[in-house]
């Protein structure tokens, strides 16, 4: 597989991932609703909000966000990170989960795969120059490059 195909595959994976992550982030509830009471003038009625959590939510640093692609042992690997969510496509397996980082240096990935694949379920990632190096607990190491985003037509 040449580099152009790899980049195209990463872009397609990124687009699909973005759609999945966008849908996964949709809660179904609304913060505001229009009141039906004629006495309220149709003003929005706010619902109570939950108190802030004591622990930080799983959010990856902006430097890690996006799609990353590469070859490991001659096989394509794609990692997409967005708003604390991560998706890996590798060796015909799809794994998804969280990407957590408290700084811009190291990112912890915790994923699950529907088919029982375990080689890329727990790992840590760090940036090395223009690349992202992911060391997985199972011993696999991926060196990935940020996928190019095609210009809008």
Q: Domain 3-23+54-146 adopts which CATH fold?
A: Lipocalin (2.40.128)
Region 65-91 average pLDDT:
95
Among 6-15, 21-30, 37-46, the range scoring the smallest mean pLDDT is: 21-30
Residue 14: what pLDDT? 47
Strands 122-128 and 106-113: antiparallel
Measured CA angle at 17 (ends 112, 116), to 5 deg: 20
Query: Higher-confidence residue: 51 or 106?
Result: 106
Is the Cβ–Cβ distance between 111 and 120 less than 8 Å? yes
Residue 153: what pLDDT? 84
Residue 6: what pLDDT? 46
Residue 151: what pLDDT? 85
Query: Higher-confidence residue: 125 or 1?
Result: 125
Residue 30: what pLDDT? 39
Residue 93: what pLDDT? 96
Asked if pLDDT for residue 13 goes beyond 60, the answer is: no
**Cα dihedral 136, 75, 14, 142 sign:** positive
End-to-end CA distance of the chain: 27
Measured CA angle at 104 (ends 127, 15), to 5 deg: 70
Asked if pLDDT for residue 51 goes beyond 90, the answer is: no
Is the Cβ–Cβ distance between 122 and 136 less than 8 Å? yes
Mean pLDDT of the chain: 73
Max mean pLDDT among 12-21, 33-42, 106-115 falls in 106-115
């Amino acid at each position: 597989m040449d580099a152009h195909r790899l980049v195209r595959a990463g872009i397609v994976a990124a687009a699909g991932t973005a759609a999945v992550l966008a849908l996964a982030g949709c809660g179904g509830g609304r913060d505001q609703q229009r009141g039906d009471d004629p006495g309220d003038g149709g003003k929005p009625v706010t619902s109570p909000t939950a108190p802030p959590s004591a622990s930080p939510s799983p959010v990856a640093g902006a430097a890690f966000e996006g799609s990353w692609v590469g070859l490991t042992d001659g096989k394509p690997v794609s990692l997409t990170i967005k708003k604390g969510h991560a998706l890996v496509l590798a060796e015909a397996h799809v794994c998804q989960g969280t990407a957590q980082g408290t700084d811009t240096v190291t990112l912890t990935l915790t994923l699950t795969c529907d088919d029982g694949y375990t080689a890329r379920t727990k790992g840590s990632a760090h940036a090395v120059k223009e690349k992202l190096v992911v060391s997985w607990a199972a011993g696999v190491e991926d060196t990935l490059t940020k996928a190019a985003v095609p210009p809008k037509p």
